[in-house]
A = this chain, B = another copy of it.
Amino acid sequence: MKTSIATVCLSGTLAEKLHAAASAGFDGVEIFEPDLIAAPESPEEIRALAARLGLTLDLYQPMRDVEGVDEDAFRDVLRRAEAKFGLMQRLGIDVVLCCSNVATATIDDDEVSASQLRRLGELARGYGIRIAFEALAWGRFVDDYRRAWRIARLADHPAVGVCLDSFHILSRGHDPAAIEQIPGEKIFFLQLADAPALSMDVLSWSRHHRLFPGEGSFDLTRFLTHVVRAGYTGPVSLEVFNDTFRQTDVRSTAVHARRSLRWLEDAVARELGAEAGFAPLPGAGAPAAFDFVEIKAEDTSSIEALLETVGFTPRGKHRTKPVTLWTAGAARVVLNEQHARGLDPHLAALGFAVSDPAALTARAGELGTPFAYRRTYAGEQALDGAVAPDGTEIYWAPQGDGGGEPAWAAEFEHGASVRDSPVVGIDHVSLGQPWQVIDEAILFFASVLELPTASSTEVASPQGLVQSRVIQSPDGSIRIPLNVSPPILSGRRAALPQHVAFACDDIVALARAARARGLSPLPIPQNYYDDLAARFDLDDAFLATLKELDLVYDRDADGEYLHFYTATVGDLFCEFVERRGRYDGYGAGNAPVRLSAQQAGAEPADIVRA
Contact = CB atoms under 8 A, between A and B. Distances in A.
Interface of A: 11-13, 16, 33-34, 36-43, 79-80, 83-84, 87, 198-201, 204, 208, 243, 246-248, 435-436, 460, 462-465, 486-491, 523, 525-528, 530-531, 533-535, 537, 592-593, 595-597, 599-600
A38 B537 contact: no
| Copies of this chain per assembly | 2
A247 B527 contact: no
Contacts of A460: 34, 246
Given A80-B535, A534-B83, A527 B597 contact: no
7 contacts: A12-B462, A13-B596, A33-B531, A37-B531, A37-B593, A80-B534, A487-B490
A10 to B, nearest CB: 9
Nearest to A531: B37
B436 A525 contact: no
Nearest to A459: B34
A243 B40 CA distance: 39
B38 A596 contact: yes
Nearest to A537: B79
Nearest to A488: B247
Given A248-B488, A597-B40, A87 B463 contact: no
A13 B80 CA distance: 59
Nearest to A202: B199
A523 B435 contact: no
A435 B489 CA distance: 13
A600 B83 CA distance: 26
Nearest to A535: B80
B38 A83 contact: no
A185 B528 CA distance: 34
A84 B527 contact: no
A12 B486 CA distance: 13
A534 B38 CA distance: 15
Given A37-B525, A199-B200, A592-B38, A11 B247 contact: no
Contact of A487 (B36, B199, B465, B487): B487
Nearest to A595: B38
A247 B80 contact: no
A534 B40 CA distance: 18
